[in-house]
Amino acid sequence: MSSQVFHTTVTKPKASAKDGKGIFMTVEKDGKVYTNVIDAITGAAVGSLGWGDTDIQEAMAEAAKHHTYSFPGCIVSTAAEELSKFYIDQCPKGAFKSALWTCSGSESNENALKIVRQYQLERGRPEKLKIISREASYHGFTLGAMSIGGGPRGVPFEDIMIDQKNVCLKMPMFYPYRRMKDGETLEQYAQRLLDSLEQLIIENDPNTVSMVIVESMSGSSIGTPVPPKNYLKGIRDICNKYDLIFMVDEVMCGTGRINDGKLCCWENFLAPEDAPDIQSVGKTLGSGYVTIAGVLVGPKIYNAFAEGSGVIVGAQTYHSHDFNCRVALAVQQKVLKQNLTANVFKMGNLMGDKLQKALVDSKIVGDVRGLGGFWTLELVKDKSTKEIFQPSLKIGSRFANAALEHKVNLMGLTGGNTTGETWDIAVLGPSFIITEKDVELLCERIVETVKDFTKALETEGIV
């Protein structure tokens, strides 16, 4: 049947989600219905709660009863206030002072870029313009967010992005599996990257550099490499040294996905006093029940506004939307009450550990990496040389198709940078309610997928 939805595969209908309960979902693809599929990625690592959560259904009904829309430029929502307090209270004390709620991670990053720009203007530093982000990074699909991204998805749009030569600068990605040198420790590799960041700042006149933005842990772009403690701390210190804003994008890795009981991913790597100055969040915040994301603003930036013009010129129609904020608050209250971030941290690490052990002899799984509720298998043609598959083979998405045959929904993709390097990854980010029994079943199904997929590639003469 033809589709009237403008899909990513425009002329070819995609698989569709039919139903879901807990961590399981029903998917229809090419006329075939797959039941009891373990949702091991919850869309794009969106799920904190499982599907069909009756508490959230009730909270949504309640929210609908009380919801009164108002334009946030004129009249604000009290639910937005409550959600801000709830979130900020769960971050390290003093890290953030204020929050803005948007409808997507891309929008959050767009808004954050503008907030940082205005921060520099408020303090009389208009020459501080340049934004440093990472090679191969992903920060969203709107033009501003893509401008600071560093993957192949942005390449066709470069001519209409924020100036890619003079404003958006790129530092090397953090990708130990491919970029660490023989004999180098993880810390030495991180230090090498920090040195190159500092060099980039010096070469580009530190007085004209405004900010550095990184994901605390990369998600769909590189696939969950875990940085050593000196990496984010080193970026924080460099930002302090050159008077730059340090921003983390925690749209995918944050809001409980990777933290043993709390919300921010960076707490795994940074002390509270090294908190980022601004942070974007999304996905698990609303758990896919509502389209909500946000920007958390630290005291340094907040104070520049408060002591400066005190005004943000402009707001979006659905900023800090009342219904979204009410439902996200209910989601987060349940996550906190049931200590679900600690659960997914433990269960995710168990899943990673099991997969590392079970796939150690696999011919095509070169690396299993991750932390807490966010893990990745990297697929390679030759494990000893880490040789990649030809990108035209689309091994990542083929692997996702193979996983669906084994009743697992995961994100399989071919990642890359803008210079033509590619890699194939399969990303796992289950909802926070996953149990030990679920992990057991999920790992069995993934191991079976790897076996069958390897056989298919052998039959085709690819490996």
Ligand X SMILES: Cc1ncc(COP(=O)(O)O)c(C=O)c1O
Among the residue ranges 88-96, 103-111, 400-408, 434-442, the one whose residues contact ligand X (CB under 6 A): 103-111
Q: Residue 422 phi/psi, 5° resolution?
A: -135, 165
Cα torsion angle, 36, 37, 43, 44, sign: positive
* Torsion from C-alpha of 390, 395, 396, 398, nearest 10 degrees: 150
Beta-strand pair 374-379/422-428: antiparallel
Per CB under 6 A, 39 contacts ligand X: no
- Amino acid type, 199: Q
- Please tell me the total number of residues recorded for the chain in this structure: 463
Residue 277 near ligand X by CB under 6 A: no
Tell me the closest approach of the beta carbon of residue 252 to ligand X, in angstroms. 3
Q: Binding segment for ligand X among 65-73, 104-112, 234-242, 439-447 (CB under 6 A)?
A: 104-112
Q: Using CB under 6 A as the criterion, what x/- string covers residues 43-82 for binding ligand X?
A: -x--------------------------------------
The CA-based angle 196-201-207, given to 5 degrees, is 170
**190, 234 contact by CB (below 8 A):** yes
Q: Give the CA angle between residues 185, 187, 191 to the nearest 5°.
A: 115
Between 34 and 138, name the residue whose CB sits nearer to ligand X: 138
Does 358 bind ligand X (CB under 6 A)? Our answer is: no
228 binds ligand X (CB under 6 A): no
Q: Which stretch binds ligand X (CB under 6 A): 102-110, 179-187, 328-336, 354-362?
A: 102-110
122 versus 249: smaller Cβ distance to ligand X: 249
Rounded to an integer, what distance in angstroms lies between the CA atom of residue 403 and that of residue 409?
A: 7
- Residue 288 contacts ligand X per CB under 6 A: no
Most distant CA atoms of the chain, gap in Å: 68
Which lies closer to ligand X via its Cβ, residue 245 or residue 364?
A: 245
Tokens of 105: 């991670």
**Positions in 123-142 near ligand X (CB under 6 A):** 138-140
State phi, psi for 29 to the nearest 5 degrees.
-140, 125
Measured CA to CA, the distance from residue 396 to residue 6 in angstroms comes to 22
Q: Is 286 in the site for ligand X (CB under 6 A)?
A: no
H-type alpha helices, 41-125? 54-66, 78-89, 105-122
Stretch that binds ligand X, among 88-96, 212-220, 373-381, 416-424 (CB under 6 A): 212-220
Q: Which amino acid is at 177?
A: Y
Can you tell me which of 106, 268, 279, 320 binds ligand X, judged by CB under 6 A? Answer: 106
Rg of the chain taking only CA atoms, in angstroms: 22
147 binds ligand X (CB under 6 A): no
Residue 415 touches ligand X, criterion: CB under 6 A: no
| Nearest to ligand X of 92, 429 (CB atom) | 429
Question: Distance between CA 256 and CA 279 in Å, rounded?
Answer: 14
Q: Which of 72, 234, 282, 348 binds ligand X (CB under 6 A)?
A: 282
Q: Find the binder of ligand X among 131, 146, 148, 293 (CB under 6 A).
A: 293
* CA–CA dist 195, 268 (Å, integer): 22
In the complex, least distance from residue 280 CB atom to ligand X, rounded to whole angstroms: 7
When asked if residue 101 is in the footprint of ligand X (CB under 6 A), the reply is no
Please name which of 308, 275, 257, 305 lies closest in space to residue 96, comparing C-alpha atoms.
Answer: 275
Q: Which stretch binds ligand X (CB under 6 A): 83-91, 197-205, 214-222, 323-331?
A: 214-222
Burial of 261 (0-12, 13-18, 19+ CB in 10 A): middle
Among 42, 84, 104, 147, binds ligand X (CB under 6 A): 104
Nearer to ligand X, 136 or 457 (CB): 136
At its nearest, how many Å lie between ligand X and the CB of residue 243?
A: 25
What does the block give as tokens for 384? Answer: 């000893």
> Please, which residue, 198 or 249, has the CB nearer to ligand X?
249
Q: Which of 147, 220, 362, 431 binds ligand X (CB under 6 A)?
A: 220
Using CB under 6 A, list all residues that contact ligand X.
44, 104-106, 109, 138-140, 215, 219-220, 249, 251-252, 282, 293
